Amino acid sequence: MSRESRGNGRTVQGIRGWLVPIGILVIAGLLIVLVILQLRPEDPAADTDTDSVDGITVVPSDVPDLTQLEYRDPADVQAAGPVDAPVALVVYSDYQCAFCAKWTHSTLPEMMKYAEAGDLRIEWRDINMYGPSSERASSAAHAAGLQGKYWEFHDALYPGGEHLTEAQLTTESLVDIAAELGLDPDRFAADMDSPAVQELVARIAQEGRDLGVTGTPSFLLAGRPLVGAQPTSVFIDAVEAALREAEK
């Protein structure tokens, strides 16, 4: 189905349907703050109150299920893998985050293999911690997605596992990247600055902040928070465990 046929209005309507009740967001925020605190070396609870694998902390199994925060929207251009995949990975990121760039370069390709196999739904969300340049990059990536090339543009913003400089995230530079990828540059520029895309980008970022995400990258895997750009093997093990759990 053509992304163009959905239009910007569809994406804005979709995000309204994705938002969860405030009560759930408050609970989720408290949980993610707890995870961040437990990652601190001086916190003795880090070894006793949570499961931990190679430094990545997972909230205990008796906390509320946060799978409600998965969009699972077929119109989401910032997603990969089937809508009904048994496990979902939600990624909270920023296009000026060095660790996000490294994770994208080293681990995302392995996660994409699970998505291509139909086992994983990957949903990318930008929280734009670093101001206007991050917001502009996020709007640009979404605009590329409206022409069916979100992931290609996404990768171009993290070349070789590095993030672009602020000077490389000007509107002119982003339009040049779009043109190099074969996108319609005029349509891209119009979509990037459209009220619909601007509203969508702001809503997603605010949702992440309401959730309590204060550092990037942060993740929800099968409804459970994970924090940090940990080694690829940690994510593979976590996805495999989530798939086994989903089969029960």
Identify the CATH assignment for 22-247 out of 3.30.930.10, 3.40.50.2300, 3.40.50.970, 3.40.30.10.
3.40.30.10
Query: Cα 27 from chain centroid?
Result: 20
Q: Which residue has the tokens 């099968």?
A: 222
Query: Cα 99 from chain centroid?
Result: 13
DSSP 215: S
- Bond preceding residue 185 cis, omega within 30 of 0: no
Residue 60 has pLDDT above 70, yes or no: no
Give residue limits of the domains in the chain: 22-247
pLDDT digits (tens, 9 = 90+) for 167-206: 999 999 999 999 999 999 999 999 999 999 999 999 999 9
The pair of structure tokens assigned to 212 is: 């309590």
The pair of structure tokens assigned to 10 is: 């569809």
Residue 80: strand pairing partners? 122
Position 68 scores a pLDDT of 94
Position 226 scores a pLDDT of 86
pLDDT digits (tens, 9 = 90+) for 145-157: 999 999 999 999 9
